Amino acid sequence: MDDTAESGADVSDLMDDLEALEAHVESDAGREAVEEAMQTVSELRDGGGTFGRVIRGFDRADAAEAALGSALFAIPMVVEGGTLDIGVYVASHVWTFLGTVLATVALVYAILYVAEIQDVRVKDPILGLVPRRLAGVVAISLAVTALLFTAWGQVDWTADPWVSACVVAVAWAPTAVGAALGDIVPGS
């Protein structure tokens, strides 16, 4: 048995090493070569099935997966009357609205980066801080939720925008979970 098998090293460890190397390479050609090696590692990893892939970046395919996942979770929320009741309650308790929004973002972050359902890597964060995948999943799921609730007449933004925002926030929590899972489970 070789040292790699004995040490338990895997493709994720190789990806970590390549990312560390990428940070130290100064030439454009060198960075491009490291990026190509990382792409090759990702493709090798992809042969192992849906789970266990290394996911980097956030592209149109990821956005479409997030939209589909959020729609699958939003549709039951639109037709369920309890969502409206909870939204009205949240509208009368401002702190629950803020807590719902913060908890939703934290839950999406946890699914993407903490739960290790997949090996999700941050690539080119927005302003060097916000992961593109997190921002994309949060924005897409919120947009899908607001669109469905508005289109199906479950909220009236002109009559009572605050209650409408609270109803959407309540439904957005599970919708965002669906978007996060829809994005990373296919593993692209």
Checking 122-125 for CB contacts under 8 A at 24+ apart, the result is: 123/56, 123/57, 123/58, 124/57
The domain segmentation of the chain, as residue ranges, is: 1-48, 53-184
- Give per-residue pLDDT as tens, 141-166: 999 999 999 999 999 999 999 999 99
Non-local (6+) Cβ contacts of 69 within 8 A are 141, 178, 179, 180, 181, 182, 183
> Is a pLDDT exceeding 60 seen at residue 47?
no
The helix-helix angle for 11-24 and 28-46 (nearest 10°) equals 170
pTM of structure = 0.70
Q: What SS3 class is residue 126?
A: strand
- Rounded to an integer, the average pLDDT of 1-16 is 57
Residues in the chain: 188
Residue range 26-37: average pLDDT?
A: 72
